[in-house]
Amino acid sequence: MNENVTAGGALAGFRVVDLTRVLGGPFCTQILSDHGAEVIKIEPPQGDEVRDWGPPFKGGLSAYFAGVNRNKRSLGLDLRTEAGQEVLFRLLDGADVMIDNFKAGSLEKWGIGFEAVLSRRFPELIYCSVTGFGADGPFGGFPGYDAVAQALSGQISINGGPESGPTRLGIPIIDLATGLYAAIGILMAVEERRRSGRGQRVDTTLFDTGVALLHPQAANYFMSGQPPVLTGNSHPNISPYDQYPTSKGRLFLAIGNDRQFRLLCEILGRPQLADDPRFLHNADRVVNRAELNAAITELLADHEAESISTALLAKGAPAGAVLTIPEVVEHPHTRHREMVVEIDDYRGTGIPIKLGRTPGAVRAKPPHYGSATREVLASLGYDEAAIDRLIADGIAFTERAKPPA
């Protein structure tokens, strides 16, 4: 180990009370937990519903849940009850952040809203809410789901090609990006609190995230007044920026300037193509995209995607073979960058933020429901008899409650 590395992570000593479920919120808190924050995941009596999202399942966990809940402790708790809220208040005493993705207005309905109650009782608390559309406005309070946000924010309208029509992005990009925005907002609020000594609310929504991610299509529309059209794998502003067949596999080229285009032509054995008046500059190449794509497809017919992409990258021409997930997992660069991690029977994606002195770490597998309930309650001062009563009374849980009939 590097002697300058400090154990514990950049957020060691940072406590997060995590009331989130499904994806956006848990992805945010996993980022924080990977970097050393103590994250206590409070789950409702029936648990985070993505525990049931599968197959696949392994060791009593769904892959969906396992993917965004490592390095956390699970406490089963009914926050709708007065006794459950008292447990929450004890947790918040000394906590840095509370985050939830309840439907807007839920905390207020339970009598523990941030402005009216929590901010007054815990003035240094940073509270982050992740909702679909926010608390007000025409869609305020509506439930939020990634695909719905993709549709309503215009994401689906610009993804896909003329043959497929508008298409949902294959990954839940808005949920994940909202989790990233939430983590950034929390850390901004932490820095501001260092100066002011006061907490504040961090308000993130799926809808806002979807609109914020509309680049460059929104910028193009603002400047041209023309609605974007479906371009499939092509880029509306750059060419060649597309996917091409090869003799083995498919290749994506992302040629962003004239120098890179000249390199591409040289490596493919046709340097004179870079001097063709139709392809001299990017604007020319965009106008003559169809002719250029036909020429590139012909030149790639005798190449294999992986070997030519490596050759192009080595010379400074951006290109990538279109790899499958199994190929990515086994790729030597994936391993070199430690982007697959393993603990016992758990495997997950690695930590993309590499800090030199305080690196993140995967310290614990995703938790089973309520596995830390007794431990957390004891740390809050509840004795064994009191913990037994909370469990017997249906306030705290070590096992998931059955859903109502």
* pLDDT tens-digit series, residues 253-294: 999 999 999 999 999 999 999 999 999 999 999 999 999 999
pLDDT at 8: 86
Q: Which of 302, 330, 358 is the last residue of a domain?
A: 330
pLDDT at 332: 96
Nearest to 258 by CA among 236, 245, 273: 273
Nearest to 124 by CA among 65, 194, 174, 60: 194
- Catalytic entry in 48, 175, 208, 242: 175
Q: Are 97 and 107 in contact (CB under 8 A)?
A: no
Q: What is the mean pLDDT of residues 157-180?
A: 95
pLDDT band at 120 (very low <50, low <70, confident <90, very high): very high
User: Per residue in 324-339, pLDDT tens?
Assistant: 999 999 999 999 999 9
CA distance 108 to 114: 8
**205 lies in the same domain as 270:** no
Omega before 359 cis (within 30°)? no
Q: Which of 301, 330, 359 is the last residue of a domain?
A: 330
Domain-embedded: residue 115: yes
pLDDT at 340: 97
User: Per residue in 386-395, pLDDT tens?
Assistant: 999 999 999 9
Q: Is the pLDDT of residue 405 over 80?
A: no
Q: Which of 279, 310, 330 is the last residue of a domain?
A: 330
Domain harbouring 277, CATH code? 3.30.1540.10
User: Per residue in 197-232, pLDDT tens?
Assistant: 999 999 999 999 999 999 999 999 999 999 999 989
Identify whether 302 is a catalytic site residue: no
Q: What is the mean pLDDT of residues 20-39?
A: 97
End-to-end C-alpha distance for the chain, whole angstroms: 54
Percentage of residues of the chain with pLDDT beyond 70: 98
Nearest to 373 by CA among 140, 31, 47, 106: 47
Q: Are 40 and 91 in contact (CB under 8 A)?
A: yes
CA distance 387 to 344: 31
pLDDT at 141: 92
**178 lies in the same domain as 263:** no
**133 lies in the same domain as 63:** yes
Q: Is the pLDDT of residue 1 over 90?
A: no
Strands 72-77 and 396-397: antiparallel
Domain residues for the domain of 314 are 241-330
Q: What is the mean pLDDT of residues 156-177?
A: 95
Domain harbouring 66, CATH code? 3.40.50.10540
Nearest to 178 by CA among 27, 67, 49: 27
Q: Is the pLDDT of residue 3 over 90?
A: no
Q: What is the mean pLDDT of residues 22-28?
A: 97
Q: What is the mean pLDDT of residues 119-125?
A: 97
pLDDT at 5: 60
DSSP state of 401: P
**pTM of this structure:** 0.93
DSSP state of 358: S
Nearest to 14 by CA among 37, 30, 41, 40: 37
**45 lies in the same domain as 111:** yes
Domain-embedded: residue 234: no
Q: Is the pLDDT of residue 2 over 90?
A: no
Q: What is the mean pLDDT of residues 363-382?
A: 97
**31 lies in the same domain as 78:** yes
What residues contact 203, with CB distance under 8 A and at least 6 apart? 129, 131, 134
The total number of structural domains in the chain stands at 2
Q: Is 398 exposed, middle or buried (0-12, 13-18, 19+ CB in 10 A)?
A: middle
pLDDT at 4: 63
CA distance 115 to 108: 9
Q: What is the mean pLDDT of residues 36-62?
A: 96
